[in-house]
Structure formats: C-alpha cells, structure tokens
Chain A
Amino acid sequence: MASELGISIQQQEHNWLSWLVSRQAFWVFLALVVACIFLSFATNSFATPNNLFNITRNFTFVAVIALGMTIVIITGGIDLSVGSVLCLCSMILAEVMHNGYSIEVGIAAAIGTALIVGAVNGVLIAYVGMPPFVVTLAMLSFGRSLAMVASNNTVVYQFGPDHNKLLFLGGGAFLFGISNPVIYTIVLALITGFTLRWTRFGRYVFAIGGNEKAAILTGVPVRRVKLAVYMVSSLSAGIAGIIETGWLGAVTTNLGAGMELQVIAATVIGGANLAGGAGTAFGALIGSALIEVIRNSLGLLGINAFWQGAFVGAFIIVAVSFDYIRNLRQAE
C-alpha cells in the first residue's frame, strides 16, 4: 500500500505537451508565427530587414511596460497610470538634460520619479487599502498634469551636452543590427521571468493573486510585496519613457496617452488573468508583439488603419475565450 502510494506520488505527472497546449501564451505565439509566415508571402515588404527592425523596435515600448503590468495583474491589481508615468519620466529626463546635466543625472532623475510615483500608488493601495483602479486612475490624471507643469506644455527636443548619447540609447543598434530597445526588452523579460519563477517575491506575487487572505494568514508580507509591485510597474513605465525619448528625439505632453489600455490589452492577450493569479513574462512579450504585427500588417496589406482597434479588440476576446472554454471544461 505504502509503496503504491510512493509510486503514484513520484510519477511524473507533467506531460509537457498537455502543459503546453493548456497555455494561452502558446496559442497566441502560434497565431503570431502564422501571421508572420502569412505576411511574408502575402506582401513584399513584411520580411524585409527594414520592416523587421521597425516592428521589433516599435513593440518594445508597450512590451517593457507590459512586463511590469503583468506582475501587477498577477497580484489581482491594475495600474492605469503607466501612460502618464511614461510621459512624466520622459519629461523629467528631457528637462534635466535640456538644462545642461549629463545623461546619467537625467536617467537617475527619471527613474527616481518613477519609483516615487510607484511608491505613492503602492502605499495608497497596500497600506491605506484603496482600490488599485481608483488610485491609479487618479495618478493617470495627476502624472500627466505634472508633466505639463514641468514643461509648461511645450515640446522638448534639445537634450543638452549628452544629446547624441540619448538618441543612440533609444535609436541606435550596437549589437548585430538589432535595435537597442529590443535588447533592453529581452534582458528585462528574462529578469521578470526569472523573478516570477525562481524567487520568493515571485511566489508571493502569485499567492496574493490566488488568495490574498490565505497569503496573509500564512505570513506572506502582503503589503510590502504589493508596494514593491506598483513600484516595479512604475519603474517599467519610466524605463520605457527613457528609451522612447531616445528614439523619438522629442518629448511632448501627450506622449503615452492611452497607452495603459494598449499595455493591458497586450498583457491580457498574453495570458494574464485580470482576476489575478496567472500571467507570464513571455506572454507579455507575445501579446505586445501581436498587437504591433497587427498594426504593421494592416498598413502593408493596404487595409484602412482605422481597423486596427477592431482587430486588437477581436484578439482580446479570442485569446480570453481559450481560457474561458478551458475553465468550462474543468467545471464539468
């Protein structure tokens, strides 16, 4: 009896194929691959080095924030302020450098700003107990307003002595012709994926999203983890802001407007569950990439660009219905 039990416990209950097909990110990845193959044959301009360079760079700004957003969403929260935080951090970076400071000082100021904004969000949510939706909605308004105040609503396009360094940071390609933002994104995705899977912090993020009360009862430092999560989310928006500033070469106060919804869409398409408890760094990348490929391909296929939103919307429903159907089956 005991040995039988031992065998049944030791059995490898994980069949890799069944694990893979149960993942939403896998299906979206498949859709992405199919779309890319189709576009390579259907158009002359999709699989050109120039276009691929553009696509891979363009998706990074959403992807970097989607990594931070994924962590927030796994805890069952939401961060609506990321678009405004991106704008605010870009503006701080631009203003600091415009006033003659070095790029290091500018980046430090931008990152510091992101962390402070994230800490404010986090304290209000984790310690005061306000709903994340409300707190970050307020910050969405507050952050962009601050960016307008900081710049007096002007466009900043001269970044002082380190002007060219900043442009290279965001627009250059120092490794095999891969644009720099892509490299940052891959590095950040690896760090995020590692943290979620291999650290105590990552484990607690999933536990809080799964059952916050259970996490509290078992001694998980729920408040500290939540505070950190909103700081990470803001930080990701700040990093995206720095990169995007370097690429665009100019900062306006409507930078990143409405971006939060694009980021949330990417995250959800990639398999994060808005109810909390599920999500991956890989999914965040795939979701962001799919949105960018849709945007890019519509232009190449000669379809009116106004259809982009309809395609993204349809994909959200399709992607989430995979999850829904699987849950229905399990309930039976």
Chain B
Amino acid sequence: MAMLELENVSKHFGAIQAVNDVSLSLDPGEVVGLMGDNGAGKSTLVKIIAGDFRASHGTMRLEGRELVLHRPVEARQHGIEIVHQDLALCDNLTAAANVFLGREMQAGPGPFKILDYASMYRRAGEIFTELKSETRPRDLVRQMSGGQRQAVAIARTRLSDAKLILMDEPTAAISVRQVAEVLSLIKRLSDSGIAIVLISHRMPDVFAVCDRIVVLRRGRKVADKPIAKSSPEEVTGLITGAIDKAF
C-alpha cells in the first residue's frame, strides 16, 4: 500500500493557480525528487503535505486513510516531518535543545515539571550516532558547520516515528563534503522504511539518492518516472519546458 497518495490536488491563491491537479503516490522507503523552476509549485505542494496550507481541491491519503490537516502540528502527529530550507534552528541553543525544541522531555511530579537535560542529551547523542553524524549534543548550533546544522534539523525528524519526511533544499547551502554526508543520511532514512520527498535544484544530488523523479512546471506535473529511465538532460528540458511531458 502506498504511504502517501495525493489525488488531483490543486491550490490557488486568488487568481494564481500555484498547484494544478497534481496526483502523486509514495511508497514506504521511496525517495522522490521533486524538481521544478522557481514558482513551479514545489514549495506550495510540500506545504500542503506539511499542513501549512489546505488544498483548494483534491484529497490526500496517508496509508489509505484520508488526511485533512489544519495546522503543521497535526502533520507531525500523523508522522509527517519537514526539514525546512533555512533549517529553523536557534543559534543560541545547543544541538540537543534544537532537536527537542517544542517537544522537550520533562521530569518531575505533577505540574512541577523541569527540563530533563540528561535524557535529552542522551537521546540526541543516540540519534546523532544513528545518523553517523559527528555532532555533539552540548555544542551550540552557532559553532557548527553546515553539515552538522543539517544533521540537527534532520535529527528532529527522528524523535517520533516518522513515516514521511519532506526535505526542502537540504544541500543548497553546504560544502561538497557535507553534501555527501547529508545524502548518505537520506539513504539511511529510506533504508529504515521512511518515504522521503527531496526538493532540490541540484541535479547530481537528485540523481544520487532518488528512486523516482517528479517535475512540476507552472503548477502542473509534467514528469513522474523512475530515475533510472531519465537523464539530467531530459529533466532540464522538462523544467524549462523544452520537453513538454514525460511519463
């Protein structure tokens, strides 16, 4: 059974049709590259899945059950996690504090709960080890490299039992060596059965980790095919409109 299915999803803002009649299906463990030019509707589509926007038309199903999201928190409750493009990190807090932001572990009786630093440091350490990232839970995010910051943002998705992770340009702002680190993180997540949507402008990254590629152009889906049956040239043509459609 498909993990996530979108059926004829559209979203318009006034007269602007941002996403137009897009259907999409993701299997567990599948990595789908979502590509398109600026304004093609990638971010809008992801925001619909993440609960930031409600679709104007169409339905969304998670593991076969219809899903209606009103707020981002609800998406999280259903196992949909998002790694934001700017990572949404607080520079003045530690790695562990950022991982647990909004979901802090607490200890103590009744209403007199205090932050459980020991458990949060331990759990964050376990997640970083699991992600094979050399990130230390007690370090301030301010002092971290781009790859480590990315690891912190990705570590957040491991707090709950995520089924689907949406990643918005996770390799846009980091060095070549760190890109390899992030791509191997994505591989490991998909190996454990998590479906991943990767939004990226970087063709090599998409071809390195994705199983399937979906191209949007002016709000419409113009390609949806296994990565093995496509090529960077074809994808470039689809993005720019030189090639009309490919399925």
Which A residues are closer than 8 A to B by beta carbons? 2, 5-6, 8-11, 13-14, 197-200, 202-203, 206-207, 209-211, 213-215, 217-220, 277-278, 330
Contacts and interface: CB of A to CB of B under 8 A. Distances in A.
A217 B93 contact: no
B102 interface: yes
Contact of A199 (B91, B115, B128, B156): B115
B92 A9 contact: no
Given A8-B134, A215-B90, A217-B88, A198 B101 contact: no
A12 to B, nearest CB: 8
A217 B115 contact: no
B136 A8 contact: yes
Nearest to A275: B92
Contacts, number: 85
B129 A218 contact: no
A206 B102 contact: no
B97 interface: yes
B89 A214 contact: yes
**Chain B interface mostly helix, strand, loop or mixed?**
loop
10 contacts: A8-B134, A8-B136, A13-B139, A199-B115, A206-B90, A215-B90, A217-B72, A219-B76, A220-B102, A277-B91
A5 B132 contact: yes
B145 interface: no
Interface residues of B, number: 34
Determine which residue in B84, B101, B136 has the highest number of CB atoms from chain A within 10 A of its CB, and name it.
B101
Contacts of A219: 72-73, 76, 102-103
A218 B102 contact: yes
**Chain A interface mostly helix, strand, loop or mixed?**
helix
Interface in B106-148: 106, 113-115, 125, 128-129, 132, 134-139, 142-143
B45 to A, nearest CB: 18
Contact of B101 (A9, A215, A277): A215
Contact of A9 (B91, B93, B115, B129): B129
B114 A199 contact: yes
A211 B84 CA distance: 13
B104 interface: yes
Contacts of A215: 90, 101-102
Nearest to B141: A210
Given A13-B139, A199-B115, A220-B102, A5 B92 contact: no
Given A9-B129, A220-B101, A277 B92 contact: yes
Given A5-B132, A217-B84, A13 B92 contact: no
Contacts of A14: 138
A309 B143 CA distance: 37
B88 A210 contact: no
B91 A210 contact: yes
